[in-house]
Amino acid sequence: MDEEERMFDWEGLRRVKHGWRFSLWQGQEFVQAFVQKDPLDGTQPCFSDQKKKTTNLEAYVRWFNRLCYLVATEICMPAKKKQRAQVIEFFIDVARECFNIGNFNSLMAIISGMNMSPVSRLKKTWGKAKTAKFFILEHQMDPTGNFYNYRTALRGAAHRSRTANSNRERIVIPFFSLLIKDIYFLNEGCANRLPNGHVNFEKFVELARQVGEFMTWKQVECPFEEDRAILHYLHTAPIFSEDGLYLASYESESPENQVEKDRWKALRSNVLGKT
């Protein structure tokens, strides 16, 4: 095994594949982020503008971003095209498992990482990888029609969760950013009182439904055994910055146009100190 292969942690990735873990955010902090100021004041939003303690909520957003960049880093890092293609196929399998167990948030993070420009431009690498399953998963998370395909899959997962006989089948982890967006626009776009002065019960019922459904999903006991080696890898593995990803991408597959050539030259100068 040469130096390049030793630097690439294949065993670490295999452990991740066999024990991919997810984290559930804390429900109480989710509610704190949208706490009522005056539920019957028609001129004020239902949720407070005051800054709340939402440490876990913010951590979950950071986790999504880290996973996205981790996927992109692992794909761009190997110098050999064959290894990059194998990493792509590996993460496609991980994404598929996320979909199968109902972990839509990690699924979207993986797809987002694979769709980052430094990764998507690696045409020779993608041409060597088996990608049929990826395009199916990408279709499931297509934003067209306000994420119609994803919302359909989420309803299916929610139904499975309600009728499940095991905790594994009860898992539902929604695409977190979209969940927050839905609740935010439901609150901001709907008045607390109707024009006739009556309470807008429809708004509050829908808010209660969405938050209540979330709380039900949160209470599911994780059926997977914790693997500290995997957790350590996920939280500590080095990730490239956007510039680092582009530089690694250009080093793997040469720039195709003048814009890319100029950027590559600038990155080599700024990051590596080369001209």
Is 146 part of a structural domain of the chain?
yes
Is 91 part of a structural domain of the chain?
yes
Confidence at residue 259, expressed as pLDDT on a 0 to 100 scale: 92
Is 120 part of a structural domain of the chain?
yes
- pLDDT above 70 for 47: no
- pLDDT above 60 for 4: no
Which residue range(s) make up the domain with 152?
19-240
Name the strand (E) or helix (H) holding 225: none
Is 268 part of a structural domain of the chain?
no
Burial 204-238 (b: 16+ CB within 10 A, else e): bebbeeebebbeebeebeeeeeebeebeebbeeee
Is 162 part of a structural domain of the chain?
yes
Tokens of 150: 């994803």
Q: How many domains does the chain have?
A: 1
Looking at per-residue confidence, does 38 or 144 come out higher?
A: 144
pLDDT digits over 150-180, tens only? 999 999 999 999 999 998 899 999 999 999 8
What is the end-to-end Cα distance of the chain in Å, rounded? 32
pLDDT digits over 50-68, tens only? 455 667 778 888 999 999 9
Is 7 part of a structural domain of the chain?
no
Give the separation between CA 209 and CA 212, rounded to whole angstroms: 5
Is 263 part of a structural domain of the chain?
no
| Three-state secondary structure call for residue 46 | coil
Tokens of 220: 């599911």
Beta bridge partners of 199: 193
pTM (2 d.p.): 0.79
Task: Identify the CATH number of the domain in which residue 82 sits.
Answer: 1.10.840.10
Is 33 part of a structural domain of the chain?
yes
| Spatial CA neighbour of 155 closest among 77, 88, 93, 210 | 210
